[in-house]
Amino acid sequence: MSLYSELKRRNVFRVAIAYLAGAWLLTEVAETLFPLFGFSEAPVRMVVTVLAIGFPLFLIFSWVFEITPQGLRREVEVSREDSITRFTGKKIDRVIIVLLAVTLGYFAFDKFVLSSRWEASLEAQKATEVAEARKAGRTEALVESYGDKSIAVLPFVNMSSDVEQEYFSDGISEEMLNLLAKVPELGDFPFFRLRLQG
How many Cα neighbours within 13 Å face the side chain of 2? 3
pLDDT at residue 173 in the model: 79
What is the pTM for the complete model shown? 0.52
User: Angle 12-36/85-109 helices, nearest 10 degrees?
Assistant: 30
Q: How far apart are CA 31 and CA 44, in angstroms?
A: 6
Q: Is 7 exposed, middle or buried (0-12, 13-18, 19+ CB in 10 A)?
A: middle
Angle, vertex CA 57, rays to CA 56 and CA 60, nearest 5:
85
The answer for 150, left when phi > 0, alpha when psi is -120 to 50, beta otherwise, is: beta
Q: What are the tens digits of pLDDT across the range 38-59?
A: 888 899 999 999 999 999 998 9
pLDDT at residue 81 in the model: 67
pLDDT at residue 187 in the model: 64
User: Percentage of the chain with pLDDT > 70?
Assistant: 75
Q: What are the tens digits of pLDDT across the range 166-192?
A: 878 788 878 887 887 787 776 665 555
pLDDT at residue 123 in the model: 78
Q: How far apart are CA 168 and CA 151, in angstroms?
A: 22
Domain ranges (residues) in the chain = 3-108, 149-198
